[in-house]
A = this chain, B = another copy of it.
């Protein structure tokens, strides 16, 4: 069953060469490829939104991560939301909304697998790209399942003005913690303190991180939700409380590094403080996402959660949109709008 309005070509962003540092448009090919012919078990989704996640940058590097690297010539892997426009898969009917990994292309192939989730027709699509999507799930499971935060604890969140960090800080506040953010601009610091209710926020570009951590976390840091790695991670490791937990959600500061990034030399504090540093991958929680969304929806309805998106227009904007995560110029979740809702 197919929609007659499906075009014969499919605009794609393919990896042309391995980027070094920030990506440039020359690292990609923008191709109008022939439309994919569906095989049994496949459905075609028209991409509406693509979410920009820092992890995408790691897939562009050589070598095996938690998923295989994107090969030269392949469409860049990425998560997004869209509508089924043709189907040879019993699980989806034309018109269904799905959240999946369509990749950076106008039309993606989806299957009835763990990486595709059907959405209710009334799902607010843009919010689904942030708070009610993998971003919200990362913040929720990172804090509760990996970090095991408890009321009264001091939680520090880096990239606090980012999509994941801003949600993580608010969730920690809702769950009774004292929350200190770390961000890269005064504007972001102001936003998370004045609008989102963080107890404090440190500008790591202009302030003495170690001194300010001591000042804002007099009882040291019980849980650190790390989105950036690098020298920020090192500074917080130095301020870890007894039995402190470091939740490794990402490492924006080092994903673009040439060669081997510097490791956190204060990791030895994990011995003195009996600390734990643990990494996690949000996609591992895919089949528990609803558990997070139930809480997030309740808190949103109660007016306790705020978020924002930075909309970038058109598929060809993907490379620049990805870079925004690393230059820090974004305000909230970076979402590329590929088609109208």
Contacts and interface: CB of A to CB of B under 8 A. Distances in A.
Given A66-B272, A276-B277, A277-B276, A263 B266 contact: yes
Contact of A262 (B251, B262, B270, B274): B262
Contact of A268 (B261, B265, B268, B273): B261
Interface stretch (A21-29, A278-286, A305-313): A278-286
Interface residues of A, number: 33
Interface string A243-278: 000001111001000001111111111111111111
A65 interface: yes
Contact of A272 (B260, B271, B279): B279
A65 B64 CA distance: 37
Nearest to A275: B279
Contacts of A271: 66, 248-251, 279-281
Contact of A234 (B234, B251, B263, B269): B263
Interface string A45-67: 00000000000000000001110
A250 B270 CA distance: 10
Given A234-B263, A263-B263, A278 B268 contact: no
A184 interface: no
A229 interface: yes
Contacts of A269: 279
Contacts of A267: 248, 263-264, 267, 277
Contacts of A229: 268
Nearest to A257: B265
B265 A265 contact: no
Interface string A183-197: 000000000000000
Contact of A277 (B65, B272, B277): B277
A56 to B, nearest CB: 14
A272 B269 CA distance: 23
A263 B280 CA distance: 20
A141 to B, nearest CB: 12
Give the most central of A64, A254, A267: most B CB within 10 Å. A267
Nearest to A66: B272
Contacts of A273: 66, 279
